[in-house]
Amino acid sequence: MAMQYVLTGFTQDLGCRVFGFARIEEDRTRTEFTVRADLALSRRYLIPMQELPLLCRNFLARREDLGQIRAVIFSEDEMRLYATNCATAKQAAANKRKPAHRPVSGNLGAAWRGHTRQDPAHAPAATQISPGLNDTEDIAAAAGADAGRGSMRND
């Protein structure tokens, strides 16, 4: 069994979150450590608050040069590295995604809408308007015929 770091708690100190960890050795001895993370920097690099404890634990696990040091700082360089790795992974995932495909035809969904596109060869013939008449003349003639009939009622 290798060394493990276990989160023991955290405190808030002047805009920083201070995480407490216990390093458990193979012989089960425990050594206490603290990792300080600046919250303003974590917001600048878009690091969610929930990810800070795990990032700090991984930071401790990577550091083999701690010696007698029991308090370390999760630096801006570490945060920048994390943000860069996240952006690279996000871009790789976006590049891996399949492009959106276009609908097979322009008639997509017509069946459930209740109408279909007509083939010009099978479309019904257009009605013919008598030559020499237009819509305005037709309306005027119809209005004149109605006016000539008049109402025969006497009220």
Dump pLDDT digits (tens) for 27-68: 999 999 999 999 999 999 999 999 999 999 999 999 877 888
From 6, 151, 83, select the one nearest 74 (Cα to Cα). Answer: 83
Taking the C-alpha atoms of residue 36 and residue 68, their distance in angstroms, rounded to an integer, is 17
Residue with tokens 């008449």: 133
pTM for this one?
A: 0.60
Averaged confidence pLDDT in the chain: 80
pLDDT per residue over 60-93, tens digit each? 999 877 888 899 999 999 999 999 999 999 998 8
pLDDT per residue over 94-128, tens digit each? 888 777 766 666 666 666 766 655 666 655 565 55
Q: How many residues does the chain have?
A: 155
**Other C-beta atoms lying within 10 Å of the C-beta of residue 23:** 17
